[in-house]
Amino acid sequence: MGLPPNRRRGEDVHTDALGQLEDALERQRDLVDRAEAAEGTSGEQHAADALGTARHQVAAREAWVVWTERGL
């Protein structure tokens, strides 16, 4: 038993999901840099919180891509 056919791959919903994932990854990369730059400063906690939120967004976007690929 394998995965269901990729009925949505290449459709708009899949393309949109991939675009949203790329945007989330770009934001996460930016926030990693900001968090590293904020280490030892008064903005360190805020930067860490923002990075944590960004990581959750990436995970959600990755799940959405998988969902669209499986055609659920």
Residues spanned by the domain of 47: 14-70
What gap in Å lies between CA 64 and CA 18, rounded to an integer? 9
Determine the residue type at 36. Answer: E
Q: What is the DSSP string of 23-55?
A: HHHHHHHHHHHHHHHHTTSTTHHHHHHHHHHHH
Structure tokens given for 32: 């990693």
Evaluate whether residue 7 is within a structural domain: no
Give residue 4's pLDDT band: very low, low, confident or very high (50, 70, 90): very low
* Mean pLDDT for the chain overall: 89
Number of domains comprising the chain? 1
The answer on pLDDT for 64 being more than 90 is: yes
> In this structure, what DSSP letter does residue 4 have?
P
pLDDT value for 70: 87
Evaluate whether residue 30 is within a structural domain: yes
Chain segment 23-50, per-residue pLDDT in tens: 999 999 999 999 999 999 999 999 999 9
